[in-house]
A = this chain, B = another copy of it.
Amino acid sequence: MAPEPLTAEAFAPFGEVIEASERAEQIAINYGMTTRFNDLAAVDVGDDKGRAILSIFRGRPLSPPVLRVFERHPLGSQAFVPLSGRPFLVAVAPAGAFDPAAIRLFRAAPHQGVNYAKGVWHHFLLPLGAESDFLVIDRAGPGDNLDEIELGPEAAILAEA
């Protein structure tokens, strides 16, 4: 499967693209020294028992890039923002019953992050090129916030980078 370019429109059914886009609300602050590209994504932690936390994920490229395991977080959103200046792959499927025929594959540029909406199926972290760090913003709190599904060998998808 060849990846699509990651755009806000194409990714909208799955969440937000986090980038300093010309279409974002831009606010001049700090006496004109800073532009705030405002509210690019909202952190969803569900009810009042969840809290948002910041973590760093250090991931290695999958080789060969065979997509086999998808997961979802039923209790909150999860954002990934690249810190190592490298692109990465984003494989998603709509929330609800997992439908392998509905899988979409995107290639995120080094300046683009993604925020998976609550319940959206996504493959685990897919860095490209070399081990890479990502800032992750997600939910901590009580409850089981991880569902996982594994495709059979016949359904696994070979991703192009």
- Interface segment among A32-40, A97-105, A153-161: the answer is A32-40
Closest chain B residue to A140, Cβ basis: B39
The distance in angstroms between the C-alpha atoms of A24 and B136, with both chains bound, is 15
Report yes or no: A52 in contact with B137, Cβ–Cβ below 8 A.
Answer: yes
Residue interface mask A109-152, B partner, CB < 8 A = 1: 00101010000000011000000010111001000000000000
CB distance from A5 to the nearest CB of B (A): 19
A34-B137 in contact given A83-B81, A83-B83 (Cβ < 8 Å): no
Report yes or no: B53 in contact with A41, Cβ–Cβ below 8 A.
Answer: yes
A58-B41 in contact given A18-B135, A20-B133, A113-B135 (Cβ < 8 Å): no
Report yes or no: B48 in contact with A48, Cβ–Cβ below 8 A.
Answer: yes
Listed residue (A37, A40, A55, A85) with the most chain B CB atoms within 10 angstroms of its CB: A55
Report, nearest first, the 3 A-B pairs whose CB atoms are least far apart: A43-B52, A30-B124, A34-B59
A contact residues vs B (CB 8 Å cutoff): 18-20, 24, 29-31, 33-43, 45, 48, 51-60, 62, 69, 79, 81, 83, 85, 111, 113, 115, 124-125, 133, 135-137, 140
Give 12 pairs: A residue, B residue, CB < 8 Å, sorted on A. A19-B56, A20-B56, A20-B58, A30-B124, A41-B53, A43-B52, A43-B54, A54-B113, A54-B137, A83-B111, A111-B133, A137-B137
